[in-house]
Structure 1
């Protein structure tokens, strides 16, 4: 994942994570398409309007049912073409695409994209950042990584016999790095804030 040779392009990585989410959860392709539309209008409203991305919330408030259904049908087909690879995913959609993914799928996608540049996909810290939540996420991801590592390292090696398990192991280790980095940054920010409060002592 993190070496300089990547078998997939960025847009293929994004599509793969969305397709995996649709296949493994109760969320449908239609639900994802609506979430993507909402994120596009939130993040790049002018571009979304320019590219005829339907604003379903605004349209639902109106009374033109026929126009709503027509716009919905066009958008669902457009997203389906991106998901199938028939049409390449444009760059202006990428950030909204990631944000439209739910929870763990969004985190896994961010981690994989970051790892392609040797980075850690730690989440941005906001005012709502919770150390207990970050620690809980770290413990959960660490537990998954330990379980897979134990299976991979049962013979004391990582080799061709482990190929089926390695993608999951890489994803889990990236998630551990991300959560650990988030918790570390919370600690660093708190320490820095407390140090700023401490008055300087002048030498006698």
Structure 2
């Protein structure tokens, strides 16, 4: 881990909001869809959530009572929208469910960005959270291609300098994602090799 202090231009809340907003803007998901996914993620990660957090459990609701369901859904959507437009600060207990509620592509980028703040890699163990060996390997290959493409563009003149500034954040993200997938695959290979031996 690097001992150098990193300065960040965004708060953790801003990172969460940026990834969720980008996902909503670039997919067919709406803010309501994200709010529903967030509620589900909260209840799966924090099964005994405190009642004062007022997070509706849509899966446990009686769907025959449409008025109650719609009122809870609208109230929850407004709350999530206040977090998304930064009029209300995101509470710390919400970070993990928020990341889980993102679609896989945005979840991975968000995890990489949050982990890199501590000089860490966002390594997800193969076999956990729906990450199979083939998915991890395809991620490794895909991110290798991304890193090679970005690196080739940056290193075309044989060095990394201020001319490359616009491409550096994407290159760094690709390299971190590549490293995370490589570590996950290495750990899985070592684990299986140890079990066989």
Give the TM-score taking structure 2 as reference length: 0.90
Partner of residue 117, structure 1: 118
Q: Quick one: distance in 1 between partners of 2:50 and 2:155? A: 48
Check the 8 A contact 1:41/1:48 in 2, yes or no. Answer: no
Gaps in structure 1 of 5+ consecutive residues: 196-204
Shift of 1:8: 1.6
Q: Which residue of 1 aligns with 2:187?
A: 185
Any unmatched runs of 5+ in structure 2?
none
Whether the 8 Å contact between 2:127 and 2:133 is mirrored in structure 1 is no
| Partner Cα separation in structure 2 for residue 129 and residue 139 of structure 1 | 15
Whose radius of gyration is greater, 1 or 2? 1
Q: Where does residue 133 of structure 2 map in the other structure?
A: 131
Q: 46-55 or 105-114, which moves further after superposition?
A: 46-55
Q: Which residue of 2 aligns with 1:51?
A: 53
- Alpha carbons 2:126, 2:132 under 8 Å: kept: no
Secondary structure of 2:166's match? Answer: coil
Aligned partner (choices 24, 29, 40) of residue 22 of structure 1: 24
- The alignment's C-alpha RMSD in Å is 1.8
1:18–1:101 contact (8 Å) kept in structure 2: yes
Which secondary structure does the structure 2 equivalent of 1:55 belong to?
coil
User: What residue is the counterpart of 1:170 in the other structure?
Assistant: 172
Measure the CA separation in 2 of the matches of 1:23 and 1:108: 16
Question: Taking structure 1 as the reference length, what is the TM-score of the superposition?
Answer: 0.87
Query: Which residue is equivalent to 1:76?
Result: 77
CA shift, 1:48, in A, is: 5.6
The 1:152–1:143 alpha-carbon spacing in structure 2 relative to 1, beyond 3 Å, is: same
* Cα distance in 1 for residues equivalent to 2:27 and 2:150: 22
SS of structure 2 residue aligned to 1:122: coil
- Asked whether the equivalents of residues 136 and 181 of structure 2 are also in contact (C-alpha less than 8 Å), the reply is yes
* Distance verdict in 2 for CA 1:171–1:48, change over 3 Å: farther
The superposition leaves residues 81-139 of structure 1 with CA deviations (integer Å, 9 ceiling, x where unpaired) of: 11111111101111100100111111111111111111111103336653333221101
CA shift for structure 1 position 167: 1.9
Inter-partner Cα distance in structure 1 for 2:170 and 2:131: 27
Stretches (4+) displaced over 6 A: none
